[in-house]
Amino acid sequence: MSDQPKMSAATKELLKKVRMMVPPMLEKFHKGQLGRVAVIGGSENYTGAPYFSAMASARLGADLSHVICTPPAANVIKTYSPNLMVHPIMREIGEVPASHEPASELASPIIAMLSNLHTVVIGPGLGRDKLMQATVAAVIKAAREHNTPLVLDADALWLIQNQPDLIHGYKECVLTPNVVEFGRLAKAVGIGEDEMPDTGEAGCKKVAAALGGVLILRKGPVDWISDGSISVKCEQEGGRKRSGGQGDTLTGSIGTLLAYRRLYLEGLWGG
Ligand SMILES: NC(=O)C1=CN([C@@H]2O[C@H](COP(=O)(O)OP(=O)(O)OC[C@H]3O[C@@H](n4cnc5c(N)ncnc54)[C@H](O)[C@@H]3O)[C@@H](O)[C@H]2O)[C@@H](O)CC1
Ligand SMILES: Nc1ncnc2c1ncn2[C@@H]1O[C@H](COP(=O)(O)OP(=O)(O)OP(=O)(O)O)[C@@H](O)[C@H]1O
């Protein structure tokens, strides 16, 4: 008997394509060429989420994994793993003088890093602090100008539900809402529960289309992925444990895969 999971022909074909994007480890490559991923998140209440995300990006194979967070979170995250490069650039409102909310100043060194990053993940453990949200809004605008692939999850989805125009029509953007986040996003783009006949494909496709074709990975009993025109279902059965951090791990993994996709499209190897 085989231990291989059962897969449809469509899934096998899809995985074959994904396999083509996984870079070979050639002698000529230097450090950083096979993936530079940054996770923006990590605040007073949450230090685990950005760690799970960045470690997943590293363990899947990114050469360099960064975490961009607040100073107190940075001190904690640095003790978790020496693999991660941790930048204490973000600030919550209480960490700057009152009356001074320099979101654009705080975003500036992060924006300066963009040309050196293949993918940016935003949201794990970010929190909903006004200054943190404004800072990542400025980074998202700049990332669009750089055409940097983005993965937005957790509290970055809170930002998107309030300002959907930030990502509307941006094809290099992946949103990974859980059930609750998906419901909020749907409402934000004017799709009510009564217009959402199922919990799967149709709703996912509708919200992705309403956001101008961004890619949505809708997490739940079945994960559905859609860009508003094409939809794919994850057929593999997951575990039954619902512990916190599984979505964070997914974001870092997608971050590395998007970096690989970029390197493949740029023709880093082959030819
Ligand atoms: N170790 C850590 O630091 C962790 C931090 N986390 C962070 O915590 C912050 C808040 O995230 P939340 O996910 O709590 O916020 P949400 O606003 O998404 O969730 C709010 C509530 O919805 C509930 N919920 C989640 N999935 C549900 C489902 N399928 N059906 C019904 N109810 C459901 C949750 O239990 C929670 O009480 C984010 O910044 C996130 O990244 C989480 O990622 C978990 C791990
Ligand atoms: N009801 C469910 N049945 C089966 N699998 C589920 C269910 N809900 C979630 N999952 C699986 O768990 C993964 C993580 O989803 P979850 O809803 O926990 O995300 P999250 O809340 O964003 O995670 P995090 O705790 O990292 O913030 C999904 O990709 C999905 O495969």
The reply to whether 173 falls in a domain is yes
Question: Does a structural domain hold residue 2?
Answer: no
Nearest to 53 by CA among 34, 32, 77: 77
> In this predicted structure, what is the pLDDT of residue 76?
97
For the annotated binding site, the residues are 125, 178-184, 219-223, 238-248
Does a structural domain hold residue 133? yes
pLDDT per residue over 218-253, tens digit each? 999 899 999 999 999 998 888 899 999 999 999 999
In a domain, 9, yes or no: no
d(CA 269, CA 211): 34
Walk across the sheet containing 64-68 and list its strands. Answer: 84-87, 64-68, 36-40, 119-122, 150-152, 173-175, 215-218, 224-226, 231-233
Amino acid code (one letter) for 95: E
Q: Locate all alpha helices (DSSP H) within the chain, ordered by sequence.
A: 9-21, 48-60, 71-80, 103-113, 130-146, 154-162, 179-188, 201-210, 246-265
Note whether residue 271 is domain-resident: no
What DSSP character marks residue 238? -
Domain residues for the domain of 68 are 33-235+245-265
| ipTM, 2 dp | 0.94
Q: Would 256 be classed as within a structural domain?
A: yes
Annotated binding-site residue numbers for ATP: 219-223, 238-247
**What distance in Å separates the CA atoms of residue 226 and residue 89, rounded to the nearest whole number?**
33
Atom 22 in ligand 1: which residue has the minimum CA distance?
A: 180
Q: Give the model confidence (pLDDT) of 58-102 as tens digits.
A: 999 999 999 999 999 999 999 999 999 999 999 999 898 877 778
Q: What is the torsional sign of CA 50, 156, 143, 134?
A: negative
* Mutation test residue for ligand 1: of 53, 129, 158, 180, the one with most atoms within 8 Å of CB: 180
1 is a domain residue: no
Instruction: Let me know if residue 13 belongs to a domain.
Output: no
pLDDT at residue 13, rounded to an integer: 94
The residue ranges of the chain whose pLDDT is under 50 are: none
Asked if 120 and 92 touch (Cβ cutoff 8 Å), the reply is no
Which residues have C-beta atoms less than 6 Å from ligand 1?
46-49, 124-127, 154-155, 178-181, 244-245, 248
Q: Is the CB of 150 under 6 A from ligand 2?
A: no
How many structural domains comprise the chain? 1
Atom of ligand 2 nearest to the CA of 178: 17
Residue with tokens 């997943």: 56
Q: What is the pLDDT of residue 238?
A: 86
Instruction: Say how many Å lie between the CA of residue 37 and the centre of ligand 2.
Output: 22
- Ligand 2 site-directed mutation target among 53, 178, 179, 204, most atoms within 8 Å of CB: 178
Question: What tokens were used for 31?
Answer: 């450090």
Instruction: Say if residue 11 is exposed, middle or buried (CB neighbours under 10 Å; 0-12, 13-18, 19+).
Output: middle
What is the pLDDT at residue 5? 73
The four Cα atoms 228, 233, 225, 116 give a dihedral, to 10 degrees, of: -130
State in Å: Cα 178 to ligand 1 middle: 8
Ligand nearest to the Cα of 250, by number: 2
Q: How many Å lie between the centroid of ligand 1 and the Cα of residue 128?
A: 13
CATH, residue 180: 3.40.1190.20
Q: What is the pLDDT of residue 196?
A: 67
